[in-house]
Amino acid sequence: MIPLTKTFMPPKDELMPALEKVLYSGYIAQGEAVDIFENKLALYLGNSNCLTVNSGSSALHIALILAGVKDGDEVITTALTAEPTNTVISQSGAKIVWADIDPKTGNLCPEDVERKITEKTRAIMVVDYAGVPMDIKKFQEIEKKYGIPIIEDGAHAFGASFEDKKIGNHFRYTVFSFQAIKHFTTIDGGVLCLKDDHEFEKAKLIRWFGISKKLTRQENDITVQGYKYHMNNVNATVGLIQLNHIEKVVDRYIKNGRFFDEALKNIPGIELLEYYPNSQPSYWLYTVKVKNKQNFIKTMTDKGIMVSDLHKRNDSHTIFRDSKIQLSKLDEFEREWVHIPCGWWVTDEDREYIVNVIREGW
């Protein structure tokens, strides 16, 4: 079976000595390894303000706090995403306001987002679904016009770019997840990329109980509510070794994605996504829209290819029932969207086989 997702790990003889060194160093909490990892991650992403944390969800929560989101506020978001994007909004006490998607991409529709803005809107949560950058230019215009911060959930889009700058540089807050099956994993973890130096320093306090690591415990005075959201030296060490391979890993996703972009054109019953101008997807999942979706899934599975729609639309969960509204474009997309394998493990032979199976029909 060609899997839909698969965890990349560096060679054992490269990773294990580094892990053994840190595990027996006498210091495995947040320390020098985390600092070095953040600096090297900043070089890769092109943003000097990279704050590592223990999960992408923690990074989203910090972003919401920095954006000033509190009980009774509204956050506009998408129902087409992994659940933590939206459970963390509920965690903040804010009301979720769903906006519809652009059916050409699966990403949030900026025009519908703008229609949903009210005086209670404190943030807009936007997802680069499946590794396809959302309409960054239009959302930058919305952020500027209304003064409402965009929080970019880039969990699917590590290594993607817009106007030749990697995702992580276009909004006040961008979040990546380093969970097990993403492009880049530290076993678990995440990072919050920020534009503002002052907010970067405040985020450091929120990450660690409101306590500054620049001062002794006796010198500290907690002035902001903080949490135990820090990354540790063990996860950071995994990340440091992973960074040695990230260009090769992301490049393979992109090469496979571009191959499918060409090879799947004009096949009856299948429709490819469109990409916004000047954007380069990183194809965490390769998304297609197909007629007779369940037949497609069964046929591909029977032929040894794992395919799935993977994510359950979030507005169908009981926890979000009070926010339920009609989302006609998402309804339309849901009937047809499905993902096929596209990652670093998909060989040239695998991708040819996948295309040939699709051409045979379902």
From the list 120, 137, 182, 324, the catalytic residue is 182
> What is the DSSP annotation of 10-35?
--HHHHHHHHHHHHTSS--SSSHHHH
Cβ atoms of residues 85 and 311 within 8 Å = no
Task: List 361's β-bridge partners, or say none.
Answer: none
Distance of alpha carbon 222 from alpha carbon 210, whole angstroms: 5
Tell me the CA distances in angstroms from 15 to 137, 145, 228, one per residue in order: 40, 47, 27
Among candidate residues 3, 2, 1, 4, the one with its CA nearest the CA of residue 284: 4
Catalytic residue flag (residue 255): no
Q: For residue 305, which phi and psi values (nearest 5 degrees)?
A: -120, 120
- Other CB atoms within 10 Å distance of the CB of residue 95: 16
Q: For residue 182, which phi and psi values (nearest 5 degrees)?
A: -75, 175
Q: Write out the two tokens for 173.
A: 């807050």
Among candidate residues 148, 189, 181, 235, the one with its CA nearest the CA of residue 54: 189
Q: Write out the two tokens for 183.
A: 């492009």
Helix (H) or strand (E) holding 311: none
Tell me, what amino acid is at 188?
D
Q: Write out the two tokens for 169.
A: 């540089």
List, by residue number, the catalytic residues: 182
